[in-house]
Structure 1
C-alpha cells in the first residue's frame, strides 16, 4: 500500500481517485484545491439539513463548487465498503437516496455557476 503524509499523520492509501482517496483513516482529498477529510467513524452521520433522513457527507459536499462529485461518490462507496466495522450501520436505500439527492444538488449548483457567466 502507498503511504502519504496528510497533515500531521501518514495515511495508508487503499484507493486513489482523481481528487479523493480512501485511507486507513477514512476518506480524504488529495489536497487540491482544499484539504478535506472524513474519519471512517463519521461516514454515515445524518445530515442536519431539510431532510434529516439523508446522510451528511453526500449532501454537505454536493454544495461545494470545487468538488469532483463523481469521484467523491466512488470514493465514498469504496470507503463504506472498506470501513464497514467503523461506522454506524445504514441501509442501502438511505445511501442511494443520499447520493442521488446529492448528485442533483451538485448538478444544480454547477448549472447555477455556469449561468452566472451567460451573456444573456
Structure 2
C-alpha cells in the first residue's frame, strides 16, 4: 500500500481512481479540484434531503459539478467493502437505490451545465 500525505495526516492508499482514493481513513479525493474526505464511520449516513431512506454521500456528491461521479461510485463501493466494520450496516437495496438516484441527479446536473453553456 502507498502512503501519501493528505491534509494533516498520512493515509495508506488502498485503492486509487482518477479523482477518488480509498484509504485507511475512508474515502478521499486526490485533492484536485477540491480536497474532500468522508470518514469510514460516516459512509452509510442517511441523506437529509427529500428522501431520507437514501444514503447521504451518493446524493450529496451527485450535485457537485466538480465530482467525477463514475469514479466516486467505484471508490464508494470499494470503501464500503474495505471498511465494513467501521460503519452502520445498510442493506444492498438501499445502496443500489442511492447510487441510482445519485446517478440520475448527476446526469441532470451535467445536462443543466451543458444547457447553460449552449445559452452563451
TM-score normalised by structure 2 residue count: 0.99
Q: Deviation at 1:107? A: 0.3
Aligned CA RMSD, in angstroms, stands at 0.9
- Asked whether 1:3 is paired with 2:8, we answer no
Residue matched to 1:27:
27
How far off is 1:117 after superposition? Answer: 1.2
Give deviations 1:53-96, integer Å, cap 9, x for gaps.
00000000000000000000000000000000000000000000
1:20-53 CA-partner distances (Å, limit 9, x unpaired): 0000000000000000000000000000000000
Structure 1 segments of 4+ aligned residues over 6 angstroms from their partners: none
Structure 2, gaps ≥5 residues long: none
Matched residues in 2 for 1:54 and 1:119: separation?
A: 34
| TM-score (ref. length: structure 1) | 0.99
- Residues matched between the structures, number: 120
Offset at residue 119 of structure 1 (A): 4.4
